[in-house]
Amino acid sequence: MLNQNADKNYQTSMFAGQDNQDLGFGSVVARESRQRLLNQDGSFNVQRKGLSDFALRNIYHWLLTMAWWKFLGFVVALYLGINVVFAILFLLCGDDALAETSAAPIGNLFLRAFFFSVHTFGTIGYGTISPVGTLSNVFVTAESIVSILLQALVTGMFFARFSRPTAQIKFSEKAVIAPYQKGRGLMFRLVNMRASQLIEVGAQVLLTHFVEENGRVVRRFDLLPLERRKVSFFPLAWTVVHPIDEKSPLYRLTHEDLVKSDAEILVLLTAIKEDFAQTVHARSSYKPKEVVWDTKFVNIYNERMKDEAISIDVRRLSEIEKI
């Protein structure tokens, strides 16, 4: 009971006297934007223009946040590209710039130069192909320096990507207005999509909508108190519930009211990733078309035999049924 009261006091005090708080979007966005503020994937629907191309294309952040298959593809393409460039440079030194002593010499000069570049770049050094002349040895020196620098950078990026804590939280595609206790409640579900565990998972849910105040239309940000604001452990799934009672900003509102006021339900999630002991974040939102009334989520738990561990079917996370 003490914990529940503390949660309620915490949630109500956060926004006390701050009904028009814009959460950092800025007064212009809060007042004028008619797009959803937060996409379901957690990205923001605003842009910063006037920045330099370098600032917009921060290479480190780009390499750090891209998908793994894109990162590996980029590394392979960069590796092949550098070797092609140095192969062309070796060819420009002349047909006799590279000497080959193998039993079956490579007849194609470009392929010979390319594979010599690969041997040099990877410090393999079979010894069957060697540079001849000053200029070709200068290019060997240059490629050795590029190889040292690039291998250090790529190794650092691999380490940074593996050591970067991220949360992969899957939110239900729809939120529902379903029976809850003696009334109704706004509900959505979420599940951790990684094998690693999250602890001390906290949720904050807000309703943003346009209302008329003092003869002008303004956007309000109202905190939606939750049945449970935080869970200590998150091994399976969590159904986040906002009870719709007399104190709720959703009390007596209909689907048409939400559409008319361009409402959006913002979800902010914070957790500690157990294996890294660091805080991670996730966010999403629901527009009126993504809130389904008079429905409930289907049972996500699997039937189990005696002495079998409790399990859920993540594929049923977003499935709903009429009441």
Digit-coded pLDDT (tens) for 276-297:
888 999 999 999 999 999 999 9
Element (H, E) at 112: helix 109-121
pTM of the model: 0.69
Tokens of 222: 């109202």
Same domain, 32 and 68: no
* CATH code for the domain of 65: 1.10.287.70
> Alpha-carbon distance 84 to 91, whole Å?
11
Same domain, 312 and 178: yes
The pLDDT of residue 52 is above 70:
no
- Give mean pLDDT, residues 119-144: 89
> Alpha-carbon distance 153 to 281, whole Å?
27
Q: Is residue 48 part of a domain?
A: no
Residue 191 neighbours by CB distance under 10 Å: 17
Residue 108 neighbours by CB distance under 10 Å: 9
Lowest pLDDT segment from 44-53, 71-80, 119-128: 44-53
Q: Is residue 107 part of a domain?
A: yes
Which of 163, 190, 223 finishes a domain? 163
Same domain, 207 and 247: yes
Same domain, 21 and 70: no
Same domain, 105 and 201: no
Number of independent structural domains in the chain: 2
Q: Do residues 299 and 222 touch, judged by C-beta distance below 8 A?
A: no
Q: Is residue 67 part of a domain?
A: yes
Nearest-5° Cα angle at 62, 56 to 67: 140
Nearest-5° Cα angle at 200, 267 to 264: 5
* CATH code for the domain of 228: 2.60.40.1400
Tokens of 28: 């212009």
Which of 130, 163, 196 finishes a domain? 163
Q: Is residue 49 part of a domain?
A: no
Question: Where does residue 75 rank: exposed (0-12), middle (13-18), buried (19+ CB within 10 A)?
Answer: middle
- Give mean pLDDT, residues 45-50: 68
Q: Do residues 22 and 33 touch, judged by C-beta distance below 8 A?
A: no
DSSP state letter for 291: E
The pLDDT, as a whole number, for residue 218 is 83
* pLDDT tens-digit readout, 11-44: 444 444 444 455 665 555 556 556 777 777 777 7
Q: Do residues 142 and 85 touch, judged by C-beta distance below 8 A?
A: no
Query: If you average pLDDT over every residue of the chain, what do you get?
Result: 85
Virtual CA dihedral for 87, 88, 94, 95, nearest 10 degrees? 60
Which residues constitute the domain of residue 254? 2-40+173-322
Tokens of 46: 């605003």
The pLDDT, as a whole number, for residue 8 is 45
The pLDDT of residue 182 is above 60:
yes
Residue 28 neighbours by CB distance under 10 Å: 10
The pLDDT, as a whole number, for residue 241 is 96
The pLDDT of residue 133 is above 80:
yes
Can you give 180-220 as a three-state secondary structure string?
A: ECCEEEEEEEEEECCCCCEEEEEEEEEEEEEEEECCEEEEE
